[in-house]
Chains A and B, each alone.
Chain A
């Protein structure tokens, strides 16, 4: 049976509710993600991709609706519970400047596990695994400033994986990369998806990236207008 990792019911987000011009950034979205999916969230600028990803990742709270992650309704969690929930269940990759600039690649990956309170041996083992998985064991001790944009994003993916999350949310992870690096990153994500069964949900504008997604969800004006599944 397919394992549901994320279930969004009737999720809406309105900005400036009280004002004369409320913005309905996400409108009645239903979304069901199962383990091992590789899904692209697409849509024109301003269609609500970032807003939706923030809601699904527990960074922002919906105006209405329910978001269930691994059986937990995260809309009911208190701020600190939510932070803790994110730490253990959701991996994030942002568009750019993902990494802590004063920490090396290794330390950036290890950081999440430190927050989780993992033991030193566990951390070292996992960091080495992940550095190998992203093909950068030689860059372990480089600081983000010494890495290319593509390498930085790969480290960001490794960091997102470090906490063994239920899924990874990535908001336009390739937007700041040249097409070779973007392709490279995508290759790596696809490999992780296929070999390790890692669930990815990412937003993108890039048609070449969209072409390689297995499922494409299209947002228009905060509504799902098309779902390839």
Chain B
């Protein structure tokens, strides 16, 4: 009964209800889109960071992160590898031996990052096989190399060509080798795409003379959202042996970026909702003024103020609910579209992103919790705002209201 009355009251002043609903839906649309976009951008960023190269968690030899020389590498014995693999929550471990080198082909010489990997475990952690665009993926113990597409293009090489690598061994002597290109890899991040060369880790160890040494272990967590806890567990079991770092520690500037951006998004959303709150509030004031006499009459007839106040609350929550639902129905396809067709970054922003090594796209994510939380915010706001008419009704002077 109360609900039916509230529903009909909504349509007493169709224009006002439509305007209120429209302002609520546009706020929901904006907020949902912004939040989905922001989360999409960050997810993309993290996915870039993590799956393109860094991984969620890395284990380094002690002191390696501050002074990245082969002298600080981590001697990776079989027992150490097994003990890392056996830590609960570890899904995969990929050892790497990374060293700067020069790559030459004919006249062309380029600086590059040589990465010695165990081909299978590297693929398990960073899905390197997916990045192969021509030739074959490195075989375990294989003597060939894989080169990133950008670097290959700059040097004018393709599969079957032979590259000469020139670097420095762990003990300072020249480390050199000739390798046939067996595969070309494509990285989304331009920085990686211009730099990386992959060798089998056994081959790299020999070339750089590190013995059992590796520069890092990339650890992939069984549950990605629990990477911090995993890092803590790893660190406590490797206290004296190694330093464990999460991607957040390795790239604090990205974390910083996400934090500032999230904060400014909260402010934007807050202002947006503040604005529509004023809008809703002013329509509530109009409604109260218009219906003052009617409210007085209803109390006179014997309607308890509490019930009448409930009616006013139901009415305002109902408008908010309708507005929120409409907003969500509109934002769903918008967010969906922007997920399938992400906005591309341009200008300085694009450069910044590429310098950091990320794909310069701004995708959205379609996640139910964003829609739910924005609806919840709108409904909560409506409930809070409805306190005013409720309070107004509770202290309404019946006699004066009827006389008015």
Contact = CB atoms under 8 A, between A and B. Distances in A.
Interface stretch (A84-92, A184-192, A195-203): A84-92
Given A50-B403, A54-B399, A59-B398, A83 B294 contact: no
A102 B302 contact: no
A167 to B, nearest CB: 15
The 6 closest A-B pairs by CB, nearest first: A87-B302, A102-B8, A86-B302, A60-B399, A59-B300, A59-B399
A148 to B, nearest CB: 20
A102 B12 contact: yes
Interface of B: 1, 5, 8-9, 11-12, 293-294, 297-305, 307, 398-399, 402-403
B8 A59 contact: no
Interface string A128-143: 0000000000000000
A29 B113 CA distance: 104
A114 interface: yes
Given A94-B402, A98-B297, A112-B301, 19 more contacts: A50-B403, A54-B399, A59-B402, A80-B304, A83-B304, A83-B305, A84-B304, A87-B301, A87-B303, A88-B302, A97-B293, A102-B5, A102-B8, A102-B9, A103-B5, A111-B301, A115-B301, A115-B307, A163-B302
Interface string A96-122: 011011110000000110111000000
A225 to B, nearest CB: 24
A76 B388 CA distance: 30
A36 interface: no
Given A97-B294, A100-B294, A83 B299 contact: yes
A57 interface: yes
Which range holds the interface residue count of chain A?
Answer: 20 to 34
A86 B301 contact: yes
Contact of B297 (A54, A57, A94): A94
B302 A112 contact: yes
A174 B69 CA distance: 101
A84 B377 CA distance: 37
* Most chain A beta-carbon contacts within 10 A, residue among B5, B294, B300, B307: B300
Q: B interface, by DSSP: helix, strand, loop or mixed? A: helix
A54 B298 CA distance: 14
A100 B5 contact: yes
A191 B303 CA distance: 29
Given A59-B398, A59-B399, A114 B300 contact: no
A100 B302 contact: no
Nearest to A85: B302
Contacts, number: 56
A163 B304 CA distance: 15
11 contacts: A54-B399, A60-B398, A80-B304, A83-B299, A84-B304, A86-B301, A102-B5, A102-B9, A111-B301, A159-B301, A163-B302
Nearest to B305: A83
Nearest to B6: A102
Nearest to A89: B302
A86 B302 CA distance: 5
Contact of B298 (A60, A88, A100): A100
A118 to B, nearest CB: 12
Nearest to A97: B293
Contact of B12 (A92, A98, A101, A116): A101
A102 B1 CA distance: 12
Given A50-B403, A60-B399, A83-B305, A92 B5 contact: no
Nearest to A110: B1
Contacts of A57: 300
A86 B304 CA distance: 11
Contacts of A111: 301
Interface in A53-69: 54, 57, 59-60
Contacts of B1: 114
A112 B303 CA distance: 8
Given A59-B399, A102-B12, A115 B302 contact: yes
Nearest to B11: A102
Nearest to A102: B8
A88 B303 CA distance: 11
Contacts of A94: 297, 402
B15 to A, nearest CB: 16
A179 B340 CA distance: 72
A125 B399 CA distance: 33
Contacts of B305: 83
B368 to A, nearest CB: 36
Contacts of B300: 57, 59, 86, 92
Nearest to B7: A102
B110 to A, nearest CB: 78
Contacts of A102: 5, 8-9, 11-12
Nearest to B403: A50
A116 B301 CA distance: 11
Contacts of B11: 102
Contacts of B5: 100, 102-103
B399 to A, nearest CB: 5
Contacts of A59: 300, 398-399, 402
A92 B398 CA distance: 13
Given A59-B398, A100-B294, A92 B301 contact: yes
Contacts of A80: 304
B9 A84 contact: no
Contacts of B303: 83, 87, 115
A143 to B, nearest CB: 9
A79 B65 CA distance: 75
